[in-house]
Amino acid sequence: MIRGALQHLPGVGRERLRLLQNAGITDWRQLAEDVPLSGIGPVTQKKLQAEVLRCEAALAEGNIRYLVSGIRKSDQWRVLGHFFDHASYFDIETSGLDIDSRITVICCLHRGKLYTFTKNENLDEFVDLLDDVDLLVSFNGASFDVPRVVSEFHIPELPCPHIDLRWLCYYESLRGGLKTVEKSMGIERPTDLVGVDGEEAVWLWEMWERGGNGKARERLLRYCAADVLSLRLLAGTLLECRGYTLDFPRGGAVWRELLSISSSTPKPVVKPSLREATDKAQERLRSHWVRRRTMERRDRGTM
Amino acid sequence: MSDIAHVVEFLERKFTSQIRAHHVMTEVEGDFKPFPDDLHPKLGSALRAEGISSLYSHQAEAFASIRAGKDTVLVSQTASGKTLSFLLPILDDYAKSESSFGVMLLYPTKALSRDQESTLGHLLKSAVDSRKLGTFDGDTPREERRNIQRIADFVITNPDMLHSGILPNHNRSWKSFLSRLKYIVVDEVHTYRGAFGSHVSNVLRRLLRVCEIHGSHPIFICSSATVGNPGEHVQALFHRPFNVITNDGAPRPQRDLYFVNPPLVKSHGEAWYRKGTGSVSIPLIREACKEGVRTICFCRARQQVERLYRAVIDRHPELEEKVKPYRGGLLPNERRQLEKDLFTGKLNAIITTNALELGIDIGDLDLCILSGHPGTMASFWQQGGRVGRKAARAVMVFVAKDTPVDQYLVHHPEFVTKAPIEEAWLNADNPYILLQHLPCAAHEHPLRQEEAHFDSQAYGMGISVLFEDKTLLPYHDCWRYALPDYPARGVNLRGMTDYNVDIYCGTEVIGEIDPIGARGTLYKDAIYQHLGRRYMSMELDLEKKLCRVEEVDVDYYTEAVWEKRLELTDVEEEKDIFKAPVQFGYVHVNKQPKLYKKIRERTYENVGYGPITLEAFEYDTTGFSMLPPESWKKAMDADDKKYTSAALYGLSYIMRHIAPSFCMADIDDIETDVYLHEKDPLKWESSLYLYDAHEGGVGYAEKVFEKLPEVFALCQQVLDECECEAGCPSCVPPLPPGVNDEELEGFLIESDAAIKCTRSLLRALNLGEVDVPEIVVRKSARGPAVEAPPVDEEKEKLGRRLSKASEVLKKKRGRQH
């Protein structure tokens, strides 16, 4: 099915793509033959054929980077579908939403296993894990997670190819954030994590770092991990809709890896000396919840 | 008679006996060349429209060199059309080029770059139909910044902004500009020397590395005032060979250079002292204002500028609007107003530090007064070059201070015109400086195992140190920056400290100063002068970076007395000079301002003391320690043990003044002192220390260490040629500074030991001869007249007790209320 990606080939625009599809061409290998194509000159055809050969070579070598960088965003789901077993999913949480905020937690589902990386503990190890990743998948990572990873670790670029699931959703007419998309697809998170969002993640981190609250740390990690597990389910479900047959956990098994997040927390690096900070964070959390509940009630029309 | 002729007549009449020399530099005719044949016609007509029909020879030479794609340095005097020299070939390329390219123009100071923007914009507009010029510095508003990053082809900036604003964002906002950067123009390249030069050199290494990442290979075009080694200097700065253009083809008017030496006068008692430079410059500035002659007067220190200004307007209130002080530490709007007033002629005279030495356009001036030698011959000519840019005649007056170098110059006026200009020196691989830039470079892009722009040995060592302290982490055969901060923020190119202390009065900030300067000038009760007003420091908080001052009306200024402790911690290199063992290595310095002196303005009498309670200032630097030759010391000790100390303090004094000329340092870049040195385990002996006044060392002491025989020879010459009988501040004063032993102090004041012993030590160091001097002790001698009368212990004690009692009474009254 990956060979159905034609739009990135030289000389193929939206109109030409329609003509090709009408002519029954659905595989780039069909273009490698020297059959005259109406409207495509010999020079462009040579370029087109060369690109097809390069894509074939990349497929044979498993050169995912070449395919991801070459193939149009609207066709990238084909790469993900083809290399679904190679995909690693990741998500980050930060200390705030402004430009200066730092990464606090990273979760990565890599080769079926869940890895968590926490600031002040093992955050740097994520860079080592990246070297082992064949294809990195995120939701909205192109504009949020990846630039932050690059600047957090002072590396010039990601060492592996990256696909943003947001585009796949976009072409399926699924707009909005991950939670909205989940909702419209009927994906349900474990009950304790329903309603947790990026803003709460900021308070949770603050409660752990400044207040030493181990429960907050655990909740944050579980939340981040749930995002990542949800990504796999989302990708799998959408790709199956497009005709792929894939093997991935479904139903309750989706969240099984959450159990691997230990409830035993390490000693906080910053001692819980700031009682005030904890109280303040909890207060902010409370008002956040009140606000949220008010809004929900308003949505339901009870107010 | 023209106005300037009146002032010359006044000078010659009033200071007849004090003028030691009058040197006339005759008018020089210009060497002109026609426009290059291949010059873009649009540029040719634009130049003709401005009344330029030919180029100076050096401009034509620069044009050919730059258009051939060579890294070029242009050495010429001020007002010789440097801007056109580098701009014309660039604009020619720009006009002919199919795709636009980037040009970065680096100026050493923000003030200078602001000044250049108008000049360049004018030229650009007349030659190329483009408004793609922008100044990017700390004052550029945010919206304008984005605009510059997006569309500008010509970006004016300074090294500090390049270091902390452009390079850290090379991958984002500056990517497009840097990827098409073709020319880097570095103006006033001679200012990039010493510690500052070493920093800038590393910033440029980082720039070239980043350019390479983005696929550009810019060439450098530099302009420099005269330095002894322009080629060597730019090569040290940019790490590549340059085409050096030194033939200055610009015409110069006749210039008169007067050497004035204020007279030695005898005060009450036996001591002689030389009148200050103010005795000449004050009447001269007043006369110039009266005649309407546009004047600039250069002083060495900021507070000296303020004091001279006060003295000039003292009892001459009509001059208050005609003369103004200009120096670093003023607020930007104050500085710009002064520049503008001078340019428009609202101001007649300006008293300044070297802040006005560079090419800020302040219009044409007629008279330049140098209050003392500025430290280097290069500065001497740069300051002197401020006059005679357009006028028919210009006058420079050098007024000698009471220092060895100044006195040497007035006695050897030919030295000024014949002596070679100092060499500029910098050490880009200075470990301390390199260690600050490697993290910045790693932050910009991971560092490879070997980087072509860095010296491999220093680089390798730097990397391993940074890896050990976990600043860098290995990443894909490279090193990436491992800390969450922004390393460029912690590196200040212009000093050891990375912040300024704000000086405020009431709620208004009136100036700023670096923290080391603050320790020495803003301790509690210090007098701080600002644009002619006097303030007293009420509170200095180095942690909060604030100093509160209040306006006061007093007739004295203050000077801090520092206490120092030195230790040579690591020996790197050793050598003997006529059996005098000299060890070069790392020196640990512990400095503390202990007390301050109150000195009355005009009379310079010492009118009191006060304590300073600030924490010690400690740092490690490079330097050497020299013990006198064993045989010489034995011979001296046989006569009197005090002779060795007398000689060491004498030598320390003269070395401090002589050494800067050997390494293009300022006198404040080098320190000398006499302190104990562990000759053998647990055996301590007095030794002469000379070290860099910069943390980590900058290579000044290293250069002096290399050239020690020449330094000693010059010291000897200055001593031999001094006209004094028993020592004077021009060679070695009877009581050199730093002596803190009462017995030795008394002995030195009463005798001619300082100069004779120093001379004897220098003979031993220059010729290997040992001769014990015959010291004449004058029992009738008293302390130098300029010193304060001895403090009356009893009176002081009584005063202290009374004020204590009054304090207790006050408290008691408060309680009763």
> Scanning every residue of chain A, which has its alpha carbon at the shortest distance from the alpha carbon of B441?
A154
Is residue A125 within 8 A of residue A149, CB to CB? The reply is no
> Scanning every residue of chain A, which has its alpha carbon at the shortest distance from the alpha carbon of B484?
A152
Shortest CB distance from B446 goes to which of A102, A152, A155?
Answer: A155
Answer whether B446 sits within 8 Å of A153, measured CB to CB: no
Give me the mean pLDDT over the B732-758 stretch: 83
Give me the mean pLDDT over the A174-188 stretch: 87
pLDDT of residue A32: 78
B contacts of A156 (beta carbons < 8 Å): 171, 445-446
Instruction: Extract the tokens encoding B419.
Output: 């002596």
- Confidence band of A299 (pLDDT split at 50, 70, 90): low
In angstroms, the separation between the Cα of residue B432 and the nearest Cα of chain A is 23
Mean pLDDT of chain B: 84
pLDDT of residue B786: 45
Answer whether B484 sits within 8 Å of A156, measured CB to CB: no
pLDDT of residue B357: 79
Answer whether A131 sits within 8 Å of B476, measured CB to CB: yes
Give me the mean pLDDT over the B514-519 stretch: 80
For every residue of B19-57, DSSP letters joined together read EEEEEEE--B---EEPPPTTS-HHHHHHHHHTT--SEEH
The 3-state DSSP class for residue B528 equals: strand
pLDDT of residue B803: 55
For every residue of B540-593, DSSP letters joined together read EETTTTEEEEEE---SEEEEEEEEEEEEEEEEEEEEEETTEEEEEEEEEEEEEE
A contacts of B481 (beta carbons < 8 Å): 154
Q: What is the 3-state secondary structure (H, E, C) of B175-205?
A: HHHHHCEEEEEECCHHHCCHHHHHHHHHHHH
The 3-state DSSP class for residue B351 equals: strand
Of the residues B175, B212, B479, B480, the best mutation for testing chain A's interface (the one with the most A CB atoms within 10 Å of its CB) is: B480
Answer whether B171 sits within 8 Å of A156, measured CB to CB: yes
pLDDT of residue B814: 47
Give me the mean pLDDT over the B409-434 stretch: 75
pLDDT of residue B664: 63
Minimum mean pLDDT among B11-20, B117-126, B291-300: which range?
Answer: B117-126
User: B504: which strand partners?
Assistant: B509, B548
pLDDT of residue B783: 41
Mind listing the pLDDT tens digit for each residue in B85-96?
888 999 999 888
Minimum mean pLDDT among A86-95, A102-111, B502-511: which range?
Answer: B502-511
In chain B, residues 196-215 whose CB comes closer than 8 Å to chain A: none
**Which residue from B554, B597, B561, B527 is spatially nearest to B788, judged by alpha carbons?**
B597
Q: Is pLDDT of A29 > 80?
A: yes
Which amino acid would we find at residue B440?
Answer: C
Mind listing the pLDDT tens digit for each residue in B540-589?
988 888 999 999 988 898 988 888 889 998 898 999 998 899 999 999 99
B contacts of A155 (beta carbons < 8 Å): 446, 475, 480
**Which residue from B351, B362, B353 is spatially nearest to B387, judged by alpha carbons?**
B362
pLDDT of residue B244: 93
Answer whether B443 sits within 8 Å of A154, measured CB to CB: yes
Shortest CB distance from A156 goes to which of B445, B473, B482?
Answer: B445
pLDDT of residue B811: 57
In chain A, residues 241-270 whose CB comes closer than 8 Å to chain B: none
Most confident option among A229-233, B370-374, B511-515, B775-779: A229-233
B contacts of A124 (beta carbons < 8 Å): 473, 482
Task: For residue B518, count other CB atoms closer than 10 A to its CB.
Answer: 26
B contacts of A127 (beta carbons < 8 Å): 475, 480
Of the residues A154, A155, A160, A269, the best mutation for testing chain B's interface (the one with the most B CB atoms within 10 Å of its CB) is: A154
Residue, of B726 and B630, whose pLDDT is higher: B630
Task: Give percent of chain A above pLDDT 70.
Answer: 86
Give me the mean pLDDT over the B216-220 stretch: 95
Residue, of B596 and B133, whose pLDDT is higher: B596
Mind listing the pLDDT tens digit for each residue in B153-166?
999 999 999 999 99
pLDDT of residue A41: 78
Query: Residue B403 and residue B654: Cα distance in Å, rounded?
Result: 9
In angstroms, the separation between the Cα of residue B446 and the nearest Cα of chain A is 6
Residue, of A287 and B467, whose pLDDT is higher: B467
Give me the mean pLDDT over the B438-465 stretch: 90
Q: Is pLDDT of B462 > 70?
A: yes
Query: Residue B678 and residue B581: Cα distance in Å, rounded?
Result: 12
Query: Residue B63 and residue A172: Cα distance in Å, rounded?
Result: 62
Q: Is pLDDT of B477 > 80?
A: yes
pLDDT of residue A229: 93
Q: Return the CA Rg of chain A.
A: 23
pLDDT of residue B815: 47
pLDDT of residue B752: 86
Answer whether A154 sits within 8 Å of B171, measured CB to CB: no
Query: Residue B455 and residue B428: Cα distance in Å, rounded?
Result: 9
Residue, of B195 and B14, whose pLDDT is higher: B14
pLDDT of residue A176: 85
pLDDT of residue B574: 93
Residue bearing tokens 């001679």: B190
Is residue B303 within 8 A of residue B331, CB to CB? The reply is no
pLDDT of residue A295: 62
In chain A, residues 155-174 whose CB comes closer than 8 Å to chain B: 155-156, 159
- Confidence band of B801 (pLDDT split at 50, 70, 90): low
B130 and chain A: CB distance < 8 Å anywhere? Answer: no
A contacts of B475 (beta carbons < 8 Å): 127, 153, 155
Mind listing the pLDDT tens digit for each residue in A253-290?
888 888 887 655 566 555 444 445 555 655 665 665 56
Q: Is pLDDT of A236 > 90?
A: yes
Is residue B593 within 8 A of residue B520, CB to CB? The reply is yes
Burial B499-514 (b: 16+ CB within 10 A, else e): ebbbbebeeeebbbbb
Answer whether B482 sits within 8 Å of A154, measured CB to CB: yes
* Separation of CA B28 from chain center: 30
Q: Is pLDDT of B813 > 50?
A: no
Give me the mean pLDDT over the B275-295 stretch: 91
Answer whether A124 sits within 8 Å of B446, measured CB to CB: no
In chain B, residues 704-733 whose CB comes closer than 8 Å to chain A: none
Shortest CB distance from B480 goes to which of A102, A131, A155?
Answer: A155
Q: Is pLDDT of B130 > 60?
A: no
Q: Is pLDDT of B132 > 90?
A: no
B contacts of A143 (beta carbons < 8 Å): none
Q: Between A and B, how many residue pairs show a Cβ–Cβ distance under 8 A? A: 22
B516 and chain A: CB distance < 8 Å anywhere? Answer: no
Q: Is pLDDT of B308 > 70?
A: yes
In chain B, residues 165-194 whose CB comes closer than 8 Å to chain A: 171
Give me the mean pLDDT over the A7-32 stretch: 83
Query: Residue B174 and residue B146: Cα distance in Å, rounded?
Result: 10
Q: Is pLDDT of A301 > 60?
A: no
Minimum mean pLDDT among A209-223, B396-410, B472-486, B673-687: which range?
Answer: B396-410
> Scanning every residue of chain A, which has its alpha carbon at the shortest distance from the alpha carbon of B171?
A156
The 3-state DSSP class for residue A278 equals: helix
